[in-house]
A and B are shown apart, each in its own frame.
Chain A
Amino acid sequence: MAEVERDLATGVQTTGHEWDGIKELNNPLPRWWLLVFYACVIYGLAYTVFYPAWPSLSGYTKGVLGYNSHADYYTEVAGAAEAKKQFTDRIAAIGVAEIAQDPQLLEFSLAGGQAVFNENCAQCHGVGGQGQRFYPVLADDNWIWGGKLADIEQTVRHGIRHQDDPDTRQAQMLRFGADEILDKAQVTDVTEYVVGLSGGDADAVAAERGAKVFAENCAACHGAGGAGNQELGAPSLVNKIWQFTGDRASFAAQINSPRHGVMPAWQGRLSDDLIKMVTVYVHSLGGGQ
C-alpha cells in the first residue's frame, strides 16, 4: 500500500490516482445521499414483501397485500357498473322502442350511444352519421335495410354480410355481366334504363329495351319501378342516393360485377346494453322511422 497522501489545499486524503497533475480526492459520500440510498434499499425489500415478487420453484410470492392488477380492474368495473345500474338494469329489461319512449333512458342512451358510435362506427359512417366513401349516411331518411329501431338494432347486432354471423343481413346481387346472365347489349340497355329511372339523360330507345331486361332480372329485388326493397336490402334506384355508383359507367360496372357493402356484427363485441344505446343514438340522427 502506498502512503496516504493528503491534498495540500483541503487536507483531504487523495486516492493516489493522477491525471495530468490533477489528483482525485477521496471524500466520503455525503451523509444525506447515503441515508437516501439505504432508505431506497429498505423500501425495495419491503415492496417485495407486500407485493407479488419473488419466484419460487412452484410459483411466486403473492405478497401480504394480495395485490392483483386484474382484481383491481374488476373492482373498478364493478364500481362503474353500480353507478350506472339504475339505468342499465332498465335498459336490459325493455326493448329499444320502449327505451326511446322513456325521457330519462333516452337521454342516457343518447350520451352513451354517441360515445360508442364515435369509437366504433364513425370510422366508416362518419361523425354524426354523415357518411363517407361507400359507407351510407345514417342521418338521412334513406335506408337500405330499414330505419325503424328494430331494423337498426338487427343491423347493429348481426352486421351486413359479416363472415362469422349466421344471422347477418345477407343479399347478393348477381354478377349479371361477368357471369353472362345478361349479354353485353342487355347490360348496356338496362344501364340506360337505370340512368333514366333517376332522371338522368338516357338513350330512350335503349332504355325501352332495358325496361324489359329490368322487369325480368332486377325488379324482383329492386321493385317494379326501382323503388327498392328494404326486406331484401335492395336499394332504391329512383331517389338519386347512391352507395357505390352515380354515373353511367359505374352503373354498368355494378351490373357487370357488383360491389357489396360489408358491416361487422357488433353482438359479442359490444355488450347488450351498449347495442341498444347505440341503436337509439343512430335512430336519433335524423332519419329514424
Chain B
Amino acid sequence: MIKHERFETNSIVLLVGILLTVAIGGLVEIVPLFTIGETIEKVEGVRPLSPLELAGRNIYIAEGCYNCHSQQVRPFRDEVERYGHYNLAAESIYDHPFQWGSKRTGPDLARVGGKYSNDWQAAHLIDPRSVVPESIMPTYPHLARQDVEPAEIGADLHALSIVGVPYSEEMIAEAAADMVAQATPDADTEALLRRYPKAAIGDLDGDPTRVTKMDALVAYLQSLGRMVDFTTYRPELAGEATTEGSQP
C-alpha cells in the first residue's frame, strides 16, 4: 500500500498524482463526447425554431419558466400516458442550451404543443387562475403589452448557426419578415411554412394588430414536441438481435 507520506513529502510524486487524477476525471467527461452521436436517434422532422418561436424561447428562458417546468418526458408508463411519447435526444439537437430541466412545480411542457388552443395559452399566461382555478403559476400580462423586436432576431439566428444550428443564409435574411408573418393573420406564410413546417401561424395572442412577446411565447409553446412523427418511430433497443433500427 502506498503511504500518503510519500505523496505529501515529495512534490514531484504529488504533482504526478494530481495530473493522473485530473486526467482520469477529464477523460471520463470528454471521451464519451466522441461517440455521443450514436446515442442520438435518427428521426425526421426536427427543425430549427422559427424566428418567432426562437424569440419565444428567449422569453421562456428570461422569465425563468424552466425553474418550474421541465421539458423531458421520461420513459415511464405514467409519464408517457400523461404527457405523450418519451423524449428523444434527437428532439433537442438544436437547443442551446436544452430546457430539459429537473423541477416540476408545474407540469412538463415537452409535448404541450398543440395540446391547447392559442386563445387558452394567451389567457393562461395573462392570468392562469382564469382557466385553472387551482394554479399557483405567476401571471405574465406584460408579455401581451410588449412588442417583439424583429430587427434583432436575425442576429440570434446567426449566432446559433455558428454553433451548428442549420439556419441557412436565406433563413437569416428573412428572419425579421418571417417573424412578423407568423403572427399576422392572413399573411403570406407559404415560404415561412416551407422553411419551418408545422409552425403555428395566425393571431396567436388575441391582438391581430401587433406582434407581441405573447405571440412569440405562444408560438414557442405550440412548437414543443410536435416535430417528430411518433406514429412511424421505431426505437432501437439493446439486447435485441434483430433490431430494425429507427425508421424515418
Specify whether A and B are partners.
yes
Query: Could you list which residues of chain A lie within 8 angstroms of chain B, going by C-beta atoms?
Result: 1, 52, 55-60, 62, 66-74, 76-77, 80, 119-120, 123-124, 132-135, 163-164, 261-264, 268-269
The docked-state distance in angstroms from the alpha carbon of A73 to that of B77 is 6
Distance to closest chain A CB from B37 (angstroms): 10
Contacting pair B77 A77 (CB below 8 A): yes
Given A67-B238, A123-B116, A133-B123, is A72 in contact with B31 using a C-beta cutoff of 8 Å? Answer: no
Contacts of A74 in B (CB 8 A): 235, 237
Contact-residue bracket for chain B:
35 or more
- Report B50-78 CB contacts with A as 1/0, cut-off 8 Å: 00000000000000000000000001110
Distance to closest chain B CB from A54 (angstroms): 9
Contacting pair A70 B237 (CB below 8 A): yes
Cross-chain contact of B119 among A1, A60, A164, A262 (Cβ < 8 A): A262
Cross-chain contact of A76 among B34, B76, B132, B240 (Cβ < 8 A): B76
Contacts of B239 in A (CB 8 A): 62, 66, 68, 71
- Report B12-55 CB contacts with A as 1/0, cut-off 8 Å: 00000000000000000001101100100000000000000000
Given A124-B131, A163-B202, is A73 in contact with B116 using a C-beta cutoff of 8 Å? Answer: no
Contacting pair B32 A60 (CB below 8 A): yes
Contacts of B75 in A (CB 8 A): 69-70, 72-73
Contacting pair B118 A58 (CB below 8 A): no
Known: A74-B235, A163-B202. 16 other contacts (CB 8 A): A57-B35, A60-B32, A62-B238, A70-B75, A70-B86, A70-B235, A70-B237, A77-B77, A124-B116, A133-B130, A134-B119, A135-B131, A261-B119, A264-B115, A264-B116, A269-B115
Is there a chain A Cβ closer than 8 Å to B247's Cβ?
A: no
Is there a chain A Cβ closer than 8 Å to B9's Cβ?
A: yes
The docked-state distance in angstroms from the alpha carbon of A263 to that of B118 is 9
The docked-state distance in angstroms from the alpha carbon of A59 to that of B35 is 6
The docked-state distance in angstroms from the alpha carbon of A71 to that of B35 is 21
The docked-state distance in angstroms from the alpha carbon of A193 to that of B201 is 35
The docked-state distance in angstroms from the alpha carbon of A66 to that of B240 is 9
Contacts of A67 in B (CB 8 A): 238
The docked-state distance in angstroms from the alpha carbon of A117 to that of B200 is 24
Contacts of A60 in B (CB 8 A): 32, 35, 38
Distance to closest chain A CB from B114 (angstroms): 6
Residues of chain B in range 224-243 having any CB-CB distance to chain A below 8 Å: 231, 235, 237-240
Distance to closest chain B CB from A84 (angstroms): 12
The docked-state distance in angstroms from the alpha carbon of A268 to that of B201 is 20
The docked-state distance in angstroms from the alpha carbon of A108 to that of B58 is 44
Q: Which residue of A lies closest to B235 (CB)?
A: A70
Contacting pair B80 A77 (CB below 8 A): yes
Contacts of A264 in B (CB 8 A): 114-117
Contacts of A62 in B (CB 8 A): 238-239
By Cβ-Cβ distance, the 9 closest A-B pairs, closest first, are A66-B239, A68-B238, A73-B75, A262-B117, A55-B32, A71-B237, A76-B77, A55-B31, A70-B75
Is there a chain A Cβ closer than 8 Å to B7's Cβ?
A: no
Contacts of B142 in A (CB 8 A): none
Distance to closest chain A CB from B36 (angstroms): 9
Contacting pair A123 B131 (CB below 8 A): yes
A–B complex contacts, Cβ < 8 Å, 8 sampled: A57-B34, A73-B76, A73-B77, A123-B116, A123-B124, A163-B201, A164-B198, A263-B117
Cross-chain contact of B117 among A66, A72, A124, A268 (Cβ < 8 A): A124
Contacts of A269 in B (CB 8 A): 84, 114-115
Distance to closest chain A CB from B225 (angstroms): 10
Residues of chain B in range 146-175 having any CB-CB distance to chain A below 8 Å: none
The docked-state distance in angstroms from the alpha carbon of A134 to that of B120 is 9
Contacts of B124 in A (CB 8 A): 123
Is there a chain A Cβ closer than 8 Å to B145's Cβ?
A: no
Contacting pair A120 B238 (CB below 8 A): no
Contacting pair B118 A262 (CB below 8 A): yes
The docked-state distance in angstroms from the alpha carbon of A280 to that of B25 is 58
Contacts of B117 in A (CB 8 A): 124, 261-264
The docked-state distance in angstroms from the alpha carbon of A262 to that of B231 is 25
Distance to closest chain B CB from A44 (angstroms): 12
Distance to closest chain B CB from A181 (angstroms): 16
